[in-house]
Amino acid sequence: MSVGILAHNVGTLPYAELAKQVGANQFKYVQLALSKAITDVDCSLGKLSPGLANSIAEAFDKHGVSIPVLGCYVSLVDLDDTNYRHNVDRFKEHLRHARHFGTAIVATEVGVPETDQRDRHWQRLRSAVEELVEEAEKWGAIIGLEAAQRHLVGSAVELAQIIDEVPSSNIGVVMDPVNLLNQQNYAQQHEVMEEAFRLHGHRIVSVHAKDFRLDSSGKMETVSSGLGNLNYRMFMELVQKHKPKVHITMEGVEHENMDFSRDFVLRQLAEL
């Protein structure tokens, strides 16, 4: 039984050093967002190659760490044509090279709309997902879509809508229940989780683990796993029911809480 972490939560470092640090912190796998995590290689659009991907994967493997998910967090709803084309092309490049990192999954949140023109942003998103699906199907890759507050897709229902509009078995879901909670619905966390797993349990390709609590003024804030109010027993039971052995990746972890939160998640899994 193991748990992973977002690589850039460990640090933003040369990739060999990053791999060493991840292994030293006893994580068996990472979600790797190249632009957020690696400092010694230019991974911008047009620079990825099978050789670079192999070299990075080998550095992590040397320390017993695999890369089951690439993160490519770009906006798929940008109304600026130049930005939009860059973002879609960058994601497509990740889809083409994912297998050379040892994975098939490239994950993203869809993007925060910059205007109140929801219909225009939604059409952008649909066009992007249609193009990405075509690329993913060519390369046997999987698009991991993740809902998040403030993003155009911020709920399980909105995520279901875009998947229904662009039906493809090459679209998967990154499940993060805290991303679905906000100031208005956190008290209904059980219902929110149940709905999310009911709608998307069969499509889950990765799970993100973090926590939430209320600050001194009563506002919801995100914290490391085990330091908040998320019903982790229910969360892990739903994961086990729908996708046993799925990769569970810790997110938003401060260095001082890394050992505690890792061990907390492992205990939750062991007690199932």
Rounded CA-CA distance 250/261 in Å is: 8
CATH of residue 250's domain is 3.20.20.150
Rounded CA-CA distance 24/156 in Å is: 36
Over residues 125-139, the pLDDT tens digits come to 999 999 999 999 999
66: exposed, middle or buried (Cβ count in 10 Å: 0-12, 13-18, 19+):
middle
Q: What is the model's pLDDT at position 1?
A: 72
Amino acid at 113: P
Of the pLDDT bands very low, low, confident and very high (cuts 50, 70, 90), residue 29 is: very high
Over residues 19-28, the pLDDT tens digits come to 999 999 999 9
Total count of domains within the chain: 1
Kindly tell me the sign of the dihedral angle through the C-alpha atoms of 36, 42, 45, 46: negative
Q: Left, alpha or beta for 176 (phi > 0: left; psi -120 to 50: alpha)?
A: beta
Closest CA to 261 of 238, 232, 234: 232
Q: What would the two tokens of residue 63 be?
A: 């320390």
Of the pLDDT bands very low, low, confident and very high (cuts 50, 70, 90), residue 77 is: very high
Over residues 144-177, the pLDDT tens digits come to 999 999 999 999 999 999 999 999 999 999 999 9
The most distant pair of C-alpha atoms in the chain lies apart, rounded to whole Å, by 51
Over range 7-13, report the average pLDDT.
Answer: 98
CB distance 179 to 147 below 8 Å = yes
Per the prediction, the chain carries an average pLDDT of: 98
Closest CA to 182 of 148, 144, 226: 148
Query: Which residue segment(s) compose the domain that 110 sits in?
Result: 4-270
